[in-house]
Amino acid sequence: MVISGGPRMPEVMEWGVSSDVAGGPVVDYEHYRAGLPPATLQYHPPIGLFAQESLGFPGRPGISGHRPDGTGWSPRFVRTEERVQPDGVSFVLEDDRAGLQVIAAVVISDGGAITIDAVLTNVGDTPYTLATMAPTLPLPSSATDLLTLSGRWTMEFMMNRRPFQGQMIVENRRGRTSHENAPVVFAGSSAFSEQAGTVWGAQLAWSGNFAVIAEELSDGRKFFQLGELLLPGEVQLAPGEAYDMPQVIATCSSAGLTPATGRFHHYLRNEVRPKPLGPRPVNLNVWEAVYFNHDEGVLMNLADEAAKIGAERFVLDDGWFGSRRDDSKGLGDWYVSPDVWPNGLGPLIERVTGHGMQFGIWFEPEMVNADSDLFRLHPDWTLTTDGYAPVLGRKQLVLDFGRSEVRENIFNQIDAILSAHDISYVKWDMNRVIVQGSGADGRAGVRKHVLGLYELLDQLRLAHPKVEWESCASGGGRIDAGILAHTDRVWTSDSNDARDRQLIQRGASLLIPPELMGAHIGPPTTHTTGRTHSFGFRAATALFGHFGIEWNVLEMTEEERAGMKDVVDLYKTHRNLLHSGQVIRLDHPDSSIVAHGVLAHDGSEGLFSVASIHTRTATSSAPLVIPGLTGTYRVEPLLIGGELPGTDFAPPVWMAEGADRNLFREAKQL
Ligand code: DGJ
């Protein structure tokens, strides 16, 4: 990485990973500086780390805001200090006139990811209202394609590739990370693929509103800019107060998207995660088995059957508390419902733990129903705006976690449940977006809510260090490196449809490694899509994440039960490899083929999946090339439930019997 010196705002001149990106400067702006076209400024304005309107940068300024009288809106910083360390550099930037100071650090982590952190302090003597703070990273002109992840509920993380021309802005204003847009962007040449081409990527570690920009200026220079999207007046810094911007994590590889996102995985695994994870237990979640119909007898039976097939964690979902018999009431009242659990949760938990399984439980702590004791007591605790009828989502409102008294109430309620029971896991759900979310002072409150959420999670983790936490938001509505600093896995999607999951998990794997990605095998016919898939396909799809079961085990046939036991054993045998190795998404010329796998870092073994997600016009497919293999390997099919998944007629000989690589070579030579 090369960053400009001197007294001005630092400019990133080159970035990449020297061992990986061969050749000279990877971003070369010099030739743009050579000449000046008519109708422009008398020089090419710099694209600083925080790009400045005050020097002519024509895009969205890296830092903007204003004083009460409107002044200070276009700062121009000078570098007053710089400290170079082996792994990065930090700066102090000051603008005395605007009364602002920035302390920023750019660091290259062990695995090659680059992080940008910065804090802006109001050193003036009046309040400063901040509008934007977002660093820029330059890109070479050879980056002609953009890749983002977009989607919807049950179809998150779809890869969206488009030409890189002009300005692309992805804004999220939903108050949580969202199903619609992930806070990440990649750029590369039009030929970049999983295994080829130089790829540049950046993501924002933040679980609220954000703006991701990829822009090409009219002089041809290109850049990324990522930052929190601040609502009007949301951040008002009193004299001496500071704004700590969400971290930007950047990556680059000259060998395609797969190694570039491998750097994200390395960073998440080693730097972001709050604690090391042990072997990921097989989760059995009862949501789709019983929904709101909680019955002690049925759930005991479910626990017995779950244990028999080898589940290691039993998660009781929505419906166990307060008046929550459907989705219209009860949120906010986190006490065990005497109506459905007259004996309390104790007997079920004992049954579960008696089988050697962990017990997990669902909460949706940020929410309240109007029909709840909490709302009746504190109708003013919601993130709404006085004088306007609130907009409901799933018949509920969002509590304002920006207020300490709200967090304290929810902490006490959750703490009481966790302290009174042997609970090892919490599924933390968040089922609606935030609309017109003002805090008690009437000002926009999304940022404070997100910070309050992080704070409450940390407080609960401290009080209950043995509990693991799952981030769920109607499936994959809150998946980002921000929330993963406070939780241990995500619920990737409410769709357990194996065909869709192939694509959802592939997209999610651009951001997160498999051990953090909840992947459950559902019933033959998926509840959310109505589509039916074979057991082998469903199992082989769920295997490549943090494996679990979302199926009423009491309804399984004997054959399905036996098959499930096999798959659970298979997962247990391979989970160390699956959750520590290098994730490889394979290129394939046929768009109906989704091929991916995990290769051990020492290359000694790997597990791969090749799925055909729609019928191909050709009966056989092009060979798969797995990068990074050295020496001779034996290729063996994994039997799922005693069968080869997906083969209907006569499988190829190698698939039926296994083969080593030399055999292929010999066969070819013949
Ligand atoms: C949405 C989640 O994604 C589901 O898994 C389930 O927990 C429901 N909420 C419960 O209301």
What pLDDT digit, counting tens, does each position of 247-283 carry? 999 999 999 999 999 999 999 999 998 778 899 999 9
- DSSP element (H, E) containing 649: none
pTM of structure: 0.96
Pocket test for ligand 1, best of 152, 362, 433, 549 (most atoms within 8 A of CB): 362
Spot the catalytic one: 429, 497, 500, 566: 429
Residue nearest to atom 6 of ligand 1 (CA): 287
Helix axes 498-508, 535-542, angle to 10 degrees: 10
Residue from 283, 327, 425, 431 whose mutation best tests the ligand 1 pocket (most atoms within 8 A of CB): 431
Residue 23 has pLDDT above 70, yes or no: no
Mind spelling out the 3-state secondary structure of 65-105?
Answer: EECCCCCCCCCCCEEEEEEEECCEEEEEEEECCCCEEEEEE
Residue ranges around ligand 1 (CB below 6 Å): 287, 317-318, 362, 429, 431, 472, 474-475, 491, 494
Phi, psi of 198 (to 5 degrees): -85, 130
Closest residue by Cα to residue 383 from 298, 333, 452, 326: 452
β 222-228/210-216 pair status:
antiparallel
Q: How far does residue 364's CA lie from ligand 1's centre (Å)? A: 9
- 491 Cα–ligand 1 center, Å: 9
DSSP state at residue 449: H
660 is catalytic: no
Banded model confidence at residue 149, pLDDT cuts 50, 70, 90: very high
Closest by CA position to 302, among listed 567, 556, 563: 556
Would you state the pLDDT for residue 628? 84
- State residue 18's pLDDT score: 56
Instruction: Judge contact between 395 and 369, C-beta under 8 A.
Output: yes
Residue among 355, 75, 383, 32 nearest 223 (CA): 32
Task: Please tell me the distance from the alpha carbon of residue 208 to that of residue 174, in angstroms, as a whole number.
Answer: 7
* Ligand 1, atom nearest to 427 Cα: 7
d(CA 52, CA 64): 9
- Ligand 1, atom 10: nearest CA belongs to which residue? 318
Ligand 1 centre to CA of 508 (Å) is 19
Indicate which residue's Cα is closest to atom 11 of ligand 1. Answer: 318
How far lies 513's CA from each of 146, 266, 278, 460, 666, in Å? Answer: 22, 8, 15, 25, 37
Provide the 3-class DSSP secondary structure of residue 207: coil
Q: What are the CA-CA distances from residue 587 to residues 257, 593, 622, 623 (Å)? A: 10, 9, 11, 11
Taking CA atoms, 264 is separated from 109, 204, 205, 250, 593, in Å, by 10, 11, 11, 8, 25
Counting from 1 in the atom list of ligand 1, the atom nearest the Cα of 473 is 3
Which residues are CB-contacts of 592 (< 8 A; sequence separation ≥ 6)?
Answer: 612, 613, 614, 615, 616
Cα-to-centroid distance, 428 and ligand 1 (Å): 9
Residue 327 CA: nearest ligand 1 atom is 11
User: Residue 233 and residue 444: Cα distance in Å, rounded?
Assistant: 7
Q: In the predicted model, what is the mean pLDDT of residues 62-76? A: 98
**441 included as an active-site residue:** no
Counting ligand 1 atoms within 8 A of each CB, the residue from 154, 287, 501 with the most, and so the one to mutate, is 287
- Nearest atom within ligand 1 for CA of residue 472: 3
Alpha helices for 490-631 (secondary structure H): 498-508, 535-542, 558-578
Counting atoms of ligand 1 from 1, which one is nearest the CA of 285? 5
Q: Contact, 178 vs 129, CB < 8 A?
A: no
Q: Which of 33-42, 194-203, 423-432 has the lowest mean pLDDT?
A: 33-42
In this prediction, residues 631-656 reach a mean pLDDT of 76
Return the residue whose CA atom lies nearest to atom 9 of ligand 1: 474
Nearest Cα to Cα of residue 320 among 351, 350, 295: 295
330-364 residue pLDDT tens: 999 999 999 999 999 999 999 999 999 999 999 99
Q: Chain centroid to CA 1: how far?
A: 26
Calculate the alpha carbon distances from 198 to 36, 164, 545, 630 in Å.
Answer: 29, 15, 27, 23
Between the CA of residue 221 and those of 3, 49, 139, 224, what are the distances in Å? 17, 14, 7, 11
Percent of the chain predicted with pLDDT > 70: 95
Q: What distance in angstroms lies between residue 565's CA and the mean position of ligand 1's atoms?
A: 25
**Would you state the torsion angle of the CA atoms of residues 600, 606, 612, 618, taken in this order, to the nearest 10 degrees?**
120
For residue 222, how far is its CA from the centre of ligand 1 (angstroms)? 41
Choice among 95, 317, 318, 494 that is catalytic: 494
pLDDT at 592 over 70: yes
> How many A from CA of 493 to the centre of ligand 1?
10
What ligand 1 atom has the least distance to the C-alpha of 475? 3
The rounded distance, in Å, linking the Cα atoms of 33 and 310 is 65
